[in-house]
Chain A
Amino acid sequence: MNKRITFIAMLLLVMMIGLVPTLAQDTIELNFTCYQDGTECDTYADLLDTFMEENPGIVVNLETVPYQFIIESLPVIVEVGDGPDIARVTDYPGFSDFYLDMRPYMEDPALLEDNFNAVPLAAFRSADNPDGLHGFPDAVTATAPFVNATLFEQAGVELLGEGATWEEWIDALTQVRDATGVDYAFTIDNRGHRFAGPAMSMGANFFDEEGNFALAGDEGFSTFAEMLKNWLDTGLSASETWATGDTYTAANEFFINVQTVMYFSGSWQVGGFANTIGDAFDWVVVPNPTGPGGSTGVVGGAGIAAFDSGDDARNAAITAVMEYLLQPEVYAEFSGRTLNLPAHAGALEIGVEYDTDNPLVASALTQFGAEVGKLQDQAWMVAFNPFSFAYFSASNTRLAQYFFGEIDLEDVTVGIQSDIEDAMANADNS
């Protein structure tokens, strides 16, 4: 008798334990894979907390990963079907087979379609769905130089402005370096992406009329490569940065520790510098130096993308999260807190309030705003071409090889072009 009661009790217990997950099935759990240059993911986490309070049926698990993960691992895990629902990516076309077309689930597709530049939106799309809406850039970023103005002041050298050429800049930077005794005049991340802007300013033409990469034999590209090699060889710039093979090495450490006068990178550094430098010295953003090709940086491409889960309810939940982040107020808060320029016309309209009392940050953002206005067409295309990442990895390797004397100057552009064409041929096979 007793045994039977125990048995029934046990049975009930087991059934209850079994029921718990069934009861909980009403909530949909979404995975959001994020990387951050400054505080982007932390900000998303806060914004999504609000979202989850308003939408009790959806739980978003935000995971912050290193950028390396986004480049190396994400493509593979997405392909094997183990990817996240939402991710912060830079290679938009790289995932085009796996995105979710959010239009059927959106309350207002115009919120996405009408508020953003068409070039990045198109970069998400695959050839068989020319109108799909899959994601959006969460900031407009552009490359430009940062300068340590305090060092200029100490050296008694006048800071240069709009229209100054690379030659004039390097003269001034060298004077400042020699007067103040810091290690370097100029540093630049070891990336072909950063290199592209100055190369375009020196007259490089990256694309042919059809919009395909056509770099072989480009004069402007070679000119800036030669200039940079010269600076690295003479110790004006840090060759250590370029010595790490194709591993990404940011030169921002040199700038933060006052080891360089100028640091060439992009607007995504602003949020980080606001924290790490603060007002320890005066850091300013200056206009891209000018050359025969004008004065341009290139855009960078961090954006949020939605991935197709194959399940209607889940896709709707993903879209709900994306639409929430697209609300002009939410987007503006994100821009304000992460110190990024908004790519969202609606957010721009209501105005972004930057979360800083540091005047250096405010003026840096103003200057980046001006730099975005000056971007050439090819400065957009270089970030959003289907083979942008083939260009990036090829240029990282080939430039480093040239800087350390493994290949000749003529072989740099020829090598990059042939690497890109190999990647195109390989893609044709699939």
Chain B
Amino acid sequence: MQNQSGSRIMEFFSNTRGVSKLHLTDILTYLYLFLGTLLMFGPVLWLVFSSFKTPGELTRFPPRIAPYRQETAVVPGYDDPLPLFEVTMEDGSITTLARIRRVGLEAQMVDPANPEEVIRTSNTDLVPIESIVFSADNYREGIESFNFARYFLNSLVVTILATMLTLLVNSMAAFSLSKYQYRGRNTIFLVIISTLMVPISVILVPAFLIITEIGWNNNLLGVIVPGAATPTGVFLLRQYMLTIPDELLDSARIDGASEWRIYAQIILPLAAPALAVLTIFSVMWRWNDFLWPKIVLTRSELFTLQVGLNAFQGDLQIQWHLILAMTVLTILPITLVFGILQKYITTGIATTGMK
């Protein structure tokens, strides 16, 4: 039925073309969609490629897409590996030399095969020897100085606990607001949804005061609990639960089920699509949340990934090579989850998302 209607509606856009032949509008459509794909993924890919580059390579203009890295050689008598260059000698021959140091315009070079002799050349004639390397250096250095594991764990704890709490309290409230008649019900609902879109960012100061009075600043609870009573979640679930027929509840009551059992075993399974959507939203909100955690969590061992990432940027000097690597690590988990569940996520939001 749906398939049939789906194909018919297509005819609206395409009823002048033959069935098997590609029409010009089809070509344009695909062109747009492929350009769109490029636009959506291009920046992320550029980020990934850049994250493997050395700091020097990152400041290069014009930038090169692939991560080049200068080759080095360990020369006896020198502690650190020395960078390799191609040098045109006075006789016109080209040799590979390692640079010891640069003094003004002059460079002191050494032949790795003959480490005893120091050769002096002009620094401007050196051509660095490079190759494409996907090196994990930035990632290693970033993880060491950025405490990635800690932030990741904090983000994970916040996201999971907050999502569970959100699902529980929101579905209970939605159940009550959709399936019972009592005094004050409409008032409660109206007050909740009138703040539907008032974000915590507009009540920052007093919300912070309350967290302080409770003693929850620098406590993950201060991030987890306040956002759990989302008006959006209550609204979404209530609208969905209204479509569940009341007869189901009545017959369960006749069978002697308690109100709690009706909620947990009848309403919740039937509202699963809406709960799934709220789960997606909640995970997305919590994983990406920034402003509120930034204010509540001031000790770095409690930072979530987003807060840590921004603090990293706010440091004395922007270390792009580390920021890029850590950004890639931050988006990796959510990208993986999306890759696996994308079909469910997009259909879920499209069919139940916003009634």
Contact = CB atoms under 8 A, between A and B. Distances in A.
Q: Do chains A and B touch in the complex (CB under 8 A)?
A: yes
Interface of A: 36-37, 63-69, 73-74, 76-77, 80, 82, 150, 153-154, 247-250, 252-253, 256-257, 259, 272, 276, 279-282
Contact of A259 (B56, B59, B299, B314): B59
Contacts of B59: 253, 257, 259
B314 A67 contact: yes
Given A82-B218, A259-B59, A66 B105 contact: no
Interface stretch (B164-172, B232-240, B315-323): B315-323
B88 interface: no
Contacts of A256: 317
Given A37-B316, A80-B217, A250-B316, 6 more contacts: A66-B315, A69-B298, A69-B300, A248-B314, A250-B318, A253-B318
B207 to A, nearest CB: 13
A68 B314 CA distance: 6
A69 B315 CA distance: 9
B35 interface: no
Given A259-B59, A279-B101, A63 B314 contact: no
B317 A63 contact: no
B104 A150 contact: yes
B131 interface: no
Contacts of B298: 69, 73-74, 76-77
Given A154-B105, A282-B104, A63 B315 contact: no
B8 interface: no
9 contacts: A64-B300, A66-B311, A73-B295, A77-B217, A77-B218, A150-B105, A253-B317, A280-B102, A281-B102
Contacts of A247: 314
A36 B317 CA distance: 11
B212 interface: yes
Nearest to B60: A257
In this complex, the interface size class of chain B, counting residues with CB under 8 Å from chain A, is 20 to 34
B300 A63 contact: yes
Interface string B244-263: 00000000000000000000
B300 A65 contact: yes
A272 B316 contact: yes
B102 A250 contact: no
Contacts of A68: 311, 314-315
Interface in B37-58: 56
Nearest to B209: A80
Interface string B288-331: 00000001001110000000000110111110000000000000
A67 B316 contact: yes
Contacts of A259: 59
Given A279-B102, A282-B104, A80 B212 contact: yes
Contacts of A276: 317
A82 B104 CA distance: 52
Contacts of A77: 217-218, 298
B314 A153 contact: no
A249 B315 CA distance: 9
A258 B30 CA distance: 45
A259 B298 CA distance: 35
Nearest to B314: A68
B312 to A, nearest CB: 8
B55 to A, nearest CB: 8
Contacts of B318: 249-250, 253
A282 B123 CA distance: 14
A297 B262 CA distance: 74
A181 B298 CA distance: 44
| 7 A-B pairs with the lowest CB-CB distances in the bound complex, closest first | A68-B314, A73-B298, A257-B59, A80-B212, A66-B311, A66-B315, A66-B314
A279 B316 CA distance: 21
B336 to A, nearest CB: 29
A285 to B, nearest CB: 18
Contacts of B218: 77, 82
Contacts of A150: 104-105
Nearest to B311: A66
A425 B220 CA distance: 37
Given A77-B217, A153-B105, A257-B59, A67 B315 contact: yes
A134 B298 CA distance: 24
A281 B104 CA distance: 7
Nearest to A252: B317
Given A63-B300, A69-B298, A250-B317, A153 B104 contact: yes
A416 to B, nearest CB: 24
Interface in B80-127: 101-105
B238 to A, nearest CB: 37
Contact of B299 (A63, A257, A279): A63
Nearest to A63: B300
A150 B217 CA distance: 51
B244 to A, nearest CB: 46
A63 B318 CA distance: 20
A80 B208 CA distance: 10
Contacts of B101: 279
Contacts of B56: 257
Contacts of B300: 63-65, 69
Nearest to A65: B300
Contacts of A67: 314-316
A193 B50 CA distance: 34
A272 B317 contact: yes
A148 to B, nearest CB: 12
Nearest to B103: A279
B141 to A, nearest CB: 14
A65 B311 CA distance: 8
Contacts of B317: 250, 252-253, 256, 272, 276
A201 B327 CA distance: 43
B78 to A, nearest CB: 15
A257 B314 CA distance: 19
